[in-house]
Amino acid sequence: MRLEIRDGCFGYRGGSPILDKVCLQADSGDLIAVLGPNGAGKTTMLRCMLGFLKWTSGDSLLDGKSIRSIPARELWRCVSYVPQARNFASASTAEQAVLLGRNAHIGLFSQPKPSDIDYADSLLYKLSIGHLAQKSCAEMSGGELQMVLIARALAAEPKILVLDEPESNLDFRNQLIVLETMTELARQGMTVIFNTHYPDHALRRSNKALLLHKGGQALFGETHSIVTEAHIQDAFHVRTVIGEIETDERIYRSILPLELAGEASEIAPDTHRIATVSVILRNDAQAMQVNDILHEYSRYLVGRMGLPYRKAGVHIINVTLDAPQSDIIALTETLGRIPDCSVKATYA
């Protein structure tokens, strides 16, 4: 299922435009981050995309059909929306809240069937919040409530999940729980689109990103080409540096804000560099996946070595590339999203 925004423009009547020619393509398995400074219209973008607000021009299309022309019940069985948790006010229990998510499958004058209740309960356990079933939403912590809201959205059995700032106002651990859940859903083939205040989360988790600027312009593309020092400076007016943090298994890229700044200077040209990318994997299926990914970069490959090490049950792959640096980053990021895969690049 493909969700697409074509040249979406939006502005309130009499005001200046908030969104200008936003484009976005979301396919199955995509994890897409929507970034932008406060007031750039991130939530507005989501609301327009889902048809809560009407684009002044342009359109949102679901498999080529305008989203506003799809009957509500049909649309909301494919697409689910997780609103900001801080606007949520209800004293119902988690179980009841999640059951509400089945609503698109329940007729106007009908009641939820036992199968609906079972599905809602199974979701609570799947997301490891079974113990909250009888707890009132009014008494939950932010992290608990966020997971309940995600469970409620999943209760509709959607193919596309849209979340509005799911990890805001959460602590470290709860942020990770939410991000891990989203990553896992995308891995299972769901399309996940989320608003976030954290460029780091986009960098670490998403394969595509939409960067919104105050004043309306929007950039969309692969995360490594969108979340760059120059683009972030343009959008946030903050000088940043994207650094690397190394663990035994991987190198993580992380973004660090340095100082307030104006718009970015010249974008540095993308230089060709030579690098060796080393990969250690846990199983055969993953090795096939890695081979598929490497195939897309075959024009840059200058050397390649693959070695199954049966005794320890691991695969070792080494490739040397002569490629633009952004492509090398893209490759390591893509490989890094495979679970239990150790990846590092060493530059010449």
Partner 1 sequence: MKRSRAGALHPAWMIALLILPILLGLAALCIGRISYPLPEILKVLAAKCTGGAVDKQMNIVIWSIRMPRILLAMLVGAGLSVAGCAFQSLFSNPLATPDTLGVASGTSFGAALALLLGCNLLGVQGIAFAFGILAVTLTWLSAAGKGRGLSSVVLAGIMIGSLFSSLVSLVKFTADTETQLPAITYWLMGSLSGAGFASLKWGAPCIAAGILVLFLLRWQLNVLPLGEDEAKSLGSNIRLLRIVTVICATAVTASSVAMCGQVGWVGLLIPHICRMAFGNDHRAIIPASVSLGAAFLVVVDTLARSISAAEIPISVLTAIIGAPFFIILMRRSRGWRL
Q: From CA 70, how far away is CA 24, in angstroms rounded?
A: 19
Residues 180 and 210: beta-carbon distance below 8 Å: no
Q: Give me the residue label for tokens 């760059």.
A: 228
Q: What is the smallest separation between the CB atom of 79 and partner 1, expressed in angstroms?
A: 8
- Name which of 85 and 277 has its Cβ closer to partner 1: 85
Q: Using the Cα atoms of residue 41, residue 44, residue 45 and residue 48 in order, give the sign of their dihedral.
A: negative
Q: What is the smallest separation between the CB atom of 163 and partner 1, expressed in angstroms?
A: 12
**Residue span 118-157 as binding mask against partner 1, x where in contact by CB under 8 A, dash where not:** --xx----------------x-----------------x-
Q: Which residues 6+ apart lie within 8 Å of 295 measured at CB?
A: none
Tokens found for residue 329:
């980053």
**Residue span 152-181 as binding mask against partner 1, x where in contact by CB under 8 A, dash where not:** ----x-------------------------
Q: What is the smallest separation between the CB atom of 125 and partner 1, expressed in angstroms?
A: 14
Angle at 182 between CA 340 and CA 121, to 5 degrees: 110
Q: Which residues 6+ apart lie within 8 Å of 56 measured at CB?
A: 9, 10, 11, 17
**CB under 8 A: which stretch of 96-104, 217-225, 226-234, 236-244 binds partner 1?**
96-104
Q: Using the Cα atoms of residue 82, residue 86, residue 87 and residue 92 in order, give the sign of their dihedral.
A: positive
Task: Tell me the site size for partner 1, rule CB under 8 A.
Answer: 37
Scanning the chain, the segments in alpha helix (DSSP H) are 42-49, 72-78, 94-100, 114-126, 142-154, 172-187, 199-205, 223-226, 229-236, 284-295, 325-336
- Name which of 68 and 304 has its Cβ closer to partner 1: 68
User: Which position among 16, 111, 247, 271 is part of the footprint of partner 1 (CB under 8 A)?
Assistant: 111
Q: What is the smallest separation between the CB atom of 98 and partner 1, expressed in angstroms?
A: 9
User: Which position among 8, 36, 58, 101 is part of the footprint of partner 1 (CB under 8 A)?
Assistant: 101
Q: What is the smallest separation between the CB atom of 116 and partner 1, expressed in angstroms?
A: 9
Query: Could you give the C-alpha distances from 105 to 67, 98, 112, 216, 285, in angstroms and in order?
Result: 19, 13, 9, 37, 36
- Name which of 96 and 286 has its Cβ closer to partner 1: 96
- Name which of 103 and 254 has its Cβ closer to partner 1: 103
SS3 content of the chain, % helix, strand, coil (to 5): 35, 30, 30
- Name which of 108 and 307 has its Cβ closer to partner 1: 108
Q: Which residues 6+ apart lie within 8 Å of 90 measured at CB?
A: 97, 137, 138
Residues in the chain, how many? 348
**CB under 8 A: which stretch of 90-98, 165-173, 298-306, 331-339 binds partner 1?**
90-98
User: Which position among 56, 103, 169, 254 is part of the footprint of partner 1 (CB under 8 A)?
Assistant: 103
- Name which of 38 and 111 has its Cβ closer to partner 1: 111
Q: What residue type is assigned to position 239 of the chain? A: R
User: For residues 30-89, which are near partner 1 according to CB under 8 A?
Assistant: 47, 50, 52, 72-73, 75-77, 79-81, 83, 87-89
Establish if 1 lies at the interface with partner 1 (CB under 8 A). no
Q: From CA 161, how far away is CA 117, in angstroms rounded?
A: 21
Q: From CA 211, how far away is CA 36, in angstroms rounded?
A: 6
Q: What is the smallest separation between the CB atom of 34 and partner 1, expressed in angstroms?
A: 16
- Name which of 99 and 331 has its Cβ closer to partner 1: 99
Q: Which positions lie near partner 1, rule CB under 8 A? A: 47, 50, 52, 72-73, 75-77, 79-81, 83, 87-93, 95-96, 99-101, 103-104, 106, 108-112, 117, 120-121, 138, 156
